[in-house]
């Protein structure tokens, strides 16, 4: 038999505990602040939106948090996900680098988002909640929550950013197959949506606006909670299953990454793979170079300011300390819908401030170049979000070739692009525009950041 390609774990190896990086950081994350008083939030402030167990997970400093058995049982439908050695890409690049990717596109909705959707649906069901509301950009998160709602018998309503809603009608159909309702955002169903539509009837929408809509409905109905697909500490916690499995798979492969790479929208995909490796490093283990990849059109980590800001455009959410482009930010209509958020997970922002990770921004055309090159070698058609990580991987592998170094590179292939074919058609037709976020617009948005007493 030839050299091994897939490292596949037995179902019994699905982690029994999630990993929380807070326990290993040299300083604790800054507290979230109440949007009205600007004072640190208490658990009661979050109770209208989240069930008690998720509020506890949001603030815990415990290193390990047990994964409930009913969640592990559903994880078994697609986990453990494979770790794949990209031997054909290595050959195509003629690089001495060893390239591995964790493939999260094997979940039924098609991405990593299901790891937290299942957990969030479980805890809400346990707390007696009947309905969940949420936002979605690319549609991957909305589809995942729809699937999780079907598993636990919860109603799900998804506000989908208008640009993606129009680009991807089949995502809506998929959510409906799993019993969820999907509406284009901004919508006339909420005060927040109506306000935006009155001022900007032609808006392409944004995650910040869609979050305001979903939060508004949850806050007004006792039987309804809100679920967020990224950014928050508990979401990053749930995504740690990716890196925890990868650690076991690298042991099987008798290898260990020198470089770990992920694309970053709200940060949970990147953190999911990277944090368990950073945890090993922080506890005295091997050092890794960690690189977060984002679009130049939404350059949160590379050009945003590390400051307190609102999580949404309507200013209904708590303020968190993060890299932000300003909550009024509406990105240009590029194709990686899941990377269009104005902020970044506070924990990803903090590890960047601590110098534990670096970030790079890419234009979409070179990302699609990389995605197509990857698909022609490895077969899998990547989601546009994931092509940002692949661009970085190929650049690093070519650097290895130039320098004659055989480094091990690991990345998270967060999802497949089967619902993103319009993006690929536009790429082949030469219709993609590469846009930098204008410096003057950025500075104006940052000037409006909320003033928080030191």
Ligand X SMILES: Cc1ncc(COP(=O)(O)O)c(C=O)c1O
Rounded to an integer, what distance in angstroms lies between the CA atom of residue 227 and that of residue 211? 10
Tokens 């590469």 correspond to 434
**263 binds ligand X per the rule CB under 6 A:** yes
**107 binds ligand X per the rule CB under 6 A:** no
Structure tokens at 213: 């809509």
Binding mask 385-404 for ligand X (x = CB under 6 A): xx------------------
User: Whose Cβ is closer to ligand X: residue 95's or residue 387's?
Assistant: 387
**312 binds ligand X per the rule CB under 6 A:** no
User: Whose Cβ is closer to ligand X: residue 100's or residue 103's?
Assistant: 103
**370 binds ligand X per the rule CB under 6 A:** no
Tokens 């536009």 correspond to 426
Rounded to an integer, what distance in angstroms lies between the CA atom of residue 290 and that of residue 47? 35
Residue in the shown chain whose Cβ atom is closest to ligand X:
338
Rounded to an integer, what distance in angstroms lies between the CA atom of residue 223 and that of residue 134? 14
Indicate which single residue of 240, 269, 302, 352 sits in contact with ligand X (rule: CB under 6 A): 269
Structure tokens at 407: 């480094």
User: Whose Cβ is closer to ligand X: residue 107's or residue 225's?
Assistant: 107
Contact by Cβ (8 Å): 61, 23: yes
The residues near 148 (Cβ < 8 Å, ≥ 6 apart) are: 74, 114, 117, 118, 120, 121, 122, 154, 156
Q: State the number of binding residues for ligand X (CB under 6 A).
A: 21
Report CA-CA distances (Å) from 143 to 223, 236, 312.
Answer: 21, 18, 21
**320 binds ligand X per the rule CB under 6 A:** no
**103 binds ligand X per the rule CB under 6 A:** no
Could you give the 3-state DSSP secondary structure of residue 206? coil
Contact by Cβ (8 Å): 106, 93: no
User: Whose Cβ is closer to ligand X: residue 263's or residue 325's?
Assistant: 263
**206 binds ligand X per the rule CB under 6 A:** no
Range in contact with ligand X (rule: CB under 6 A) among 68-76, 164-172, 277-285, 383-391:
383-391
Give the nearest distance from C-beta 411 to ligand X in angstroms.
Answer: 11
The residues near 349 (Cβ < 8 Å, ≥ 6 apart) are: 267, 301, 306, 321, 322, 323
Give the nearest distance from C-beta 188 to ligand X in angstroms.
Answer: 25
Round to the nearest angstrom and report the end-to-end CA distance of the chain.
62
Indicate which single residue of 142, 266, 314, 318 sits in contact with ligand X (rule: CB under 6 A): 266
**268 binds ligand X per the rule CB under 6 A:** yes
Rounded to an integer, what distance in angstroms lies between the CA atom of residue 43 and that of residue 47? 6
User: Whose Cβ is closer to ligand X: residue 185's or residue 269's?
Assistant: 269
E strands in 141-257: 155-161, 181-185, 224-226
* Radius of gyration (C-alpha) of the chain in whole angstroms: 20
**267 binds ligand X per the rule CB under 6 A:** yes
Binding mask 221-250 for ligand X (x = CB under 6 A): ---------x--------------------
Range in contact with ligand X (rule: CB under 6 A) among 9-17, 210-218, 260-268, 433-441:
260-268
Contact by Cβ (8 Å): 322, 349: yes
| DSSP percent split of the chain into helix, strand, coil, nearest 5 | 45, 15, 40
Indicate which single residue of 111, 185, 212, 408 sits in contact with ligand X (rule: CB under 6 A): 111
User: Whose Cβ is closer to ligand X: residue 110's or residue 193's?
Assistant: 110
**343 binds ligand X per the rule CB under 6 A:** no
**29 binds ligand X per the rule CB under 6 A:** no
Residues in contact with ligand X by the rule CB under 6 A: 111, 137-138, 140-141, 230, 263-270, 338-339, 383, 385-386, 414-415
């Amino acid at each position: 038999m030839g050299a091994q390609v897939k490292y596949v774990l037995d179902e019994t190896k699905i982690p029994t505990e999630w990993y929380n990086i807070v326990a290993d950081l040299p300083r604790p994350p800054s507290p979230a602040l109440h949007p009205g008083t600007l004072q640190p939030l208490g658990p009661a402030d979050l109770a209208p939106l989240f069930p008690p167990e998720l509020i506890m997970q949001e603030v815990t400093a415990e290193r390990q948090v047990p994964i409930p058995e009913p969640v592990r049982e559903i994880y078994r439908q697609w986990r453990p996900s494979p770790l794949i050695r990209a031997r054909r890409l290595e050959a195509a690049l003629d690089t001495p680098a060893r390239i591995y990717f964790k493939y999260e596109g094997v979940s039924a909705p098609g991405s990593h988002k299901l790891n937290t959707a299942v957990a969030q649906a479980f805890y809400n069901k346990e707390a007696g909640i009947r309905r969940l509301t949420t936002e979605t950009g690319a549609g991957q998160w909305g589809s995942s929550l729809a699937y999780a709602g079907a598993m636990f018998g919860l109603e799900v309503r998804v506000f989908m950013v208008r640009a993606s809603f129009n680009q991807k009608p089949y995502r809506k159909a998929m959510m409906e197959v799993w019993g969820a309702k999907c509406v284009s955002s901004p919508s006339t169903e909420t005060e927040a949506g109506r306000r935006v539509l009155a001022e900007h009837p032609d808006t392409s929408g944004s995650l910040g606006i869609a979050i305001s809509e979903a939060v508004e409905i949850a806050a007004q109905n006792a039987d309804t909670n809100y679920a967020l697909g990224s950014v928050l500490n508990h979401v990053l916690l749930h995504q740690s299953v990716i890196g925890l499995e990868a650690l076991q798979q690298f042991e099987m492969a008798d290898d260990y990454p020198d470089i770990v790479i992920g694309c970053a929208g709200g940060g949970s995909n990147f953190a999911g793979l990277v944090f368990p490796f950073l945890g090993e490093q922080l506890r005295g283990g091997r050092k890794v170079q960690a690189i977060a990849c984002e679009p130049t059109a939404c350059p949160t980590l590379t050009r945003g300011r590390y400051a307190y800001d609102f999580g949404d455009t309507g200013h209904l959410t708590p303020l968190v300390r993060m890299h932000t482009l300003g909550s009024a930010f509406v990105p240009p209509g590029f194709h990686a819908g899941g990377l269009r958020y104005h902020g970044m997970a506070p924990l990803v922002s903090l590890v960047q401030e601590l110098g534990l990770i670096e970030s790079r921004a890419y234009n979409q055309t070179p990302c699609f170049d990389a995605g197509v090159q990857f698909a022609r070698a490895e077969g899998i058609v990547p989601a546009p979000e994931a092509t940002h990580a692949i661009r970085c991987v190929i650049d690093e592998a070519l650097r290895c070739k130039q320098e004659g170094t055989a480094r091990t590179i690991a990345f998270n292939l967060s999802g497949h692009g089967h619902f993103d074919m319009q993006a690929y058609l536009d790429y082949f037709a030469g219709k993609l525009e590469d846009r930098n976020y204008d410096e003057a617009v950025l500075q104006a948005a940052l000037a409006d950041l909320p003033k928080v007493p030191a």
